Amino acid sequence: MNKTGDYSKLLELLVKDFSWPTEYMFKFVIPFDAHNLYHLKILFNGEAKISHRISKSSKYISFTVIQMMDNPDEVIAIYKQAEKLDNIIAI
């Protein structure tokens, strides 16, 4: 994830590679605790398709979220909110 706040490269790729609106896939890995799980899930609307997998050690959980997005700015807004979570990794 981009902790510098510069999403210009991502914006360029989103504009070039996608036709909007579109279903967009987000992938995250976070430490497995209730606080992180709750705050990650509330970033997405009720229509999002969320799947997850717990690591063998049960220390981490990987999330895949597919959600209809209207434009690249909505995608970047999700990433900006997600980067506020402790120890989150966007894949």
With a CB cutoff of 8 Å and minimum separation 6, the contacts of 69 are 20, 21, 22, 23, 24, 75
53, part of any domain: yes
Prediction pTM value: 0.87
Q: What is the pLDDT of residues 15-60, one digit of tens each?
A: 999 999 999 999 999 998 878 788 899 999 889 999 999 999 999 9
How many Å apart are CA 58 and CA 75, to the nearest integer?
29
37, part of any domain: yes
Q: Which residues pair with 64 in a beta bridge?
A: 27, 51
pLDDT of residue 36: 79
Structural domains in the chain (count): 1
pLDDT of residue 2: 47
CATH number of the domain to which 83 belongs: 3.30.70.260
Quote the domain boundaries for residue 20: 8-90
69, part of any domain: yes
How many Å apart are CA 67 and CA 33, to the nearest integer?
23
